[in-house]
Homo-oligomer: A and B are copies of this chain.
Amino acid sequence: MHILTAEERSYYLDKYPIDDFFSFDIDPFLEVCKFDKGEWIFQEGSFPDTLYYMIEGKAKIYMTHKNGKVSLIEYPEAPRFMGEIELLNEARYTKGVQTVTETICFSITQSCKEKLLTDVLFLRKLCVFLGEKATKITSKYTQNQAYPLENRLAAFIQLSSDQGIYKEKHTEICEYLGVSYRHLLYVLAQFCEEKILEKKKNGYHIMNRKRLSELAQEIQ
């Protein structure tokens, strides 16, 4: 992570105005910083003391279980807060957050914590954000346990494919969908078998959009 120069800073502040999140002047408490691709924003189990507002980039939120399994909990995408729960609760340790692409964040130090926690505008934004987060997580996980991978994967392919081509990293997606790598490949192979997908050099091509939709639409 490194902090951007004054020039870059004002570029981003201009591009992504954030003043209306706060009723006080946030400028003195704010830095713009850049994380490299793959860099960890929060180490799992650490106690972060910075609130980030991600403005460009994508990341992954992880947690590791006692038995060694890893859950990819969320795919946070800009724009959104990170570290907000730790701001609200003292000494709450965090999940691991790792960038997927180069990522630009506004970083807000806890030196203005008091101001933040008494700011109506900010708190309301945060409430809405947290409410949506809770709703999203709930729907992801209830789906996970109500539908077999076949349906969830179909939905995920629809979401994440680009120009009719699906080419995500299996290692990531199996963690996200909560199944083993092996099983993900099984179901992908099954989709190819059924001519829903076709595996090519540059990814899996969607051959039967209709059938894929049917499978996906079993889900809410």
A positions within 8 Å CB-CB of B: 63, 65-67, 69, 71, 73, 84-85, 88-89, 92, 117-120, 123-124, 126-128, 130-135, 137-138, 140-147, 178, 218-220
List the number of copies, as a whole number: 2
Residues of B within 8 A of A65 (CB): 142-143, 146-147, 219-220
CA distance A176 to B25 in the complex (A): 46
Q: Is the CB of A146 within 8 A of B85?
A: no
CA distance A146 to B128 in the complex (A): 29
Indicate which residue in B67, B120, B144 contacts A123 across the interface (CB closer than 8 Å).
Answer: B120
Q: Is the CB of B142 within 8 A of A73?
A: yes
Indicate which residue in B67, B118, B130, B142 contacts A71 across the interface (CB closer than 8 Å).
Answer: B142
Q: Is the CB of A138 within 8 A of B73?
A: yes
